[in-house]
Amino acid sequence: MRPVRILVIEDDILVGQLLREMLEGLGHVVCGIETTEKAAIDSALRLKPDLMLVDAQLRSGNGASAVSVIQRTIRIPHVYMTGGYGPFEPNSIVLKKPFMLAALSQAMHQAIALS
């Protein structure tokens, strides 16, 4: 997979930083880490990443709602990460936490291929 610009939307900043390290280790670029719905929307519309990794539950708001708002303006492939929270739009790519790096990489490939 070519290097991808990724926006990480995750309520736990430590998990966000761990994801950054993992993704950069795979050769990707993390263009931002956001913890709230509003910040996620603002960053996605400003940065226009190639992919978003989206936690279902955020510090303020939720990931599915943020994605819904973003997708009305710009189509960005995305993968939801969840510890059990839902529901998501039909045909969503959802990773159940905790997940392995191989599963994350596969989900990213799938999301980009569907776009």
20 versus 90: which is more confidently predicted?
A: 20
Contact partners, residue 14, CB within 8 Å, separation at least 6 = none
For residue 22, the number of C-alpha atoms closer than 13 Å in the C-beta half-sphere is 16
Residue ranges making up the domain that contains 88: 5-114
pLDDT category at 41 given cuts 50, 70, 90 is very high
Structure-token pair, residue 1: 């997979």
Q: For the sheet with 78-82, list strands across it.
A: 29-34, 5-9, 51-55, 78-82, 94-96
Domain count, the chain: 1
Instruction: Decide if 13 contacts 50 (C-beta within 8 A).
Output: no
pLDDT in tens, 52-111: 999 998 999 999 999 999 999 999 999 999 987 667 787 899 999 999 999 999 999 999
Its pTM stands at 0.95
Average pLDDT on 39-59 reads: 96
Of the pLDDT bands very low, low, confident and very high (cuts 50, 70, 90), residue 17 is very high
Measured CA to CA, the distance from residue 17 to residue 21 in angstroms comes to: 6
Radius of gyration over alpha carbons of the chain, in Å?
12
Cα 2 versus chain centre, distance: 17
Q: What is the CATH number of the domain that holds 59?
A: 3.40.50.2300
